């Protein structure tokens, strides 16, 4: 799987923006239609980040933690193991409207719809399965 497969549907890459809570200047992506009651585990990432910060403060981004967790989850479930390039920077903003724009596949998507959406981003069916 290509490194660029850690891809985006709303912004410019794997930047951890889905982890951001609402602020006075933007509404986050957690409660957008395709993510609400679908994307989970935010508290787990928060706990991992807190432990990593104790060992090496301000070095590892939440976006890298997400990428590593995705890779490890795939490997643990018997899928391929692949190298993860590190160095992502966490987003400082999120876009509720972009997340709701229809580009993120909703959890009710058909297989055909998912394949087409990932293909439109340059990803194969194998990439889609690994990333999902």
**For 12-53, how does the pLDDT look when each residue is reduced to its tens digit (9 = 90+)?**
566 777 878 888 988 888 888 888 877 788 889 889 999 999
**For 93-126, how does the pLDDT look when each residue is reduced to its tens digit (9 = 90+)?**
888 888 888 777 888 889 999 999 889 888 899 8
Please report which confidence band the pLDDT of residue 76 belongs to, taking 50, 70 and 90 as the band edges. very high
Q: pTM for this one?
A: 0.68
SS3 127: helix
> Is 29 within any annotated ligand binding site?
yes
Residues 6+ apart with CB under 8 A from 98: 10, 11, 29
> Is 95 within any annotated ligand binding site?
no
**Amino acid 5: pLDDT:** 33
d(CA 109, CA 43): 26
> Is 13 within any annotated ligand binding site?
yes
């Amino acid at each position: 799987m290509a490194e660029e497969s850690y891809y985006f549907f709303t912004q410019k890459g794997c930047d951890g923006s889905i982890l951001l809570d609402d602020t006075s200047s933007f509404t986050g992506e957690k409660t957008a239609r395709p993510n609400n009651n679908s994307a989970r585990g935010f508290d787990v990432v928060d706990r991992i980040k807190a432990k990593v910060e104790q060992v090496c403060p301000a070095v590892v981004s939440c976006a890298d933690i997400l990428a590593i967790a995705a890779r490890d989850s795939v490997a643990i479930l018997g899928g391929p193991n692949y190298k993860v390039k590190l160095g992502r920077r966490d987003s400082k903003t999120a876009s509720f409207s972009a997340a709701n724009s229809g580009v993120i596949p909703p959890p009710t998507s058909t297989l055909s719809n998912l394949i087409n959406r990932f293909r439109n981003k340059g990803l194969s069916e194998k990439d889609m399965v690994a990333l999902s």
